[in-house]
Structure 1
Amino acid sequence: MKLDSPIFDRIRVKPDRDRRPKAEGPVCEWAGCCNASTHRAPKGRQQEGQFWRFCFDHVREYNQSYNYFAGMKDDAVAAYQKDALTGHRPTWKMGQNGGNKGRRGGPQDHQPENFADPFGMFGEMGGAHRPDPEPPRESRMIRNAERRAFESLGLEFSATTEEIKARFKELVKRFHPDANGGDTSTEDRLRDVIQAYNHLKSTGFC
């Protein structure tokens, strides 16, 4: 464009203060700041759900000095943190509401002596700290191969898994050549014991 062009003379330039980008949306609530409020910051205790609107620089400065427990004593802070574990809802000890009156079975069915307490949760109520009764062993058909395996180990059919494993370890130590001064006359017996144990293990007995 030529400097003496009539179009050039019609161009108007605004001052610098008018050409600065204007903030879109709410303005930062920090005193003296005109930037856009792009971040929220909590107003503090007893004003939950209310927020300040700051720009990035001022929300960072605000967060560095923010303290929710400002003005509270140490014991009050500890009590607040303890209540926060239950969401600030009231709690009661077990058995404080007087049992199960009016419901089917009555409170006598829920006395401490009528149930096992393996983890000691009801100690304050006088619960008996005893383990749950062992469930009865599932009865199953004993086949000839399994019968011979139990006979090789010298066990009854009602033997538990722990008893089978303990008996196997005992017989291995007894018939192993190293335990007999290198005597190999018990190798056949050792082989029978190992085969019997492997068979019971494969069939789910141990």
Structure 2
Amino acid sequence: MHGRVEGARDRCAVPGCRAPGEFKAPLQPANFDGPGSWRFLCLEHVREHNSKYNFFEGMSPDEITEAQSPIAGWDRATRAFAHAGSDPAPSWSDFADPLEAISGRFRRKHNEDTTRFSRHEQRALSILGLGEDADLKAVRSSYSKLVRRFHPDRNGGDRSHEGRLGEVIEAYQTLRKSAAFT
């Protein structure tokens, strides 16, 4: 039963009552703040004790009506909730797949201040002729195409493109280790 103290060994605190005191009751009905002083009563006497308690005692009719309002206590100003480190959620109607919508909330928005590549990596992308939306597959494909174009074995032994070939190889080595692709 609700409110029963398990393992209570004392008898009811009401003089002359022989029933076990299994329910905790404050000594004074209005004494509910802090630890207070308690006594143990049997079920019959705790019901009698509770029937004497009147929460609205001493209140005016207007105060009682206000206390009984379903929005009582909600009229105080509160802080706005934070977004927990992410942007507000996107509209569900923008996505066909619910999992895509959930992950869309935590994706970074790409603007002029935020990029997933460092300046050095951005330079490497431009050497390979790629933009910031490139993935590792596009990097490999562009690298392969440019190596075939600039390698002396592929262009009749012409060594005039060796400098450009070195830049392409260095750019690929930079991008394959990039944290943006992990």
Per the shorter chain, which TM-score range? 0.3 to 0.5
- Identify which of structures 1 and 2 has the higher relative contact order when contacts are C-alpha pairs closer than 8 Å and 6+ apart: 2
Q: TM-score, normalised by structure 1?
A: 0.33
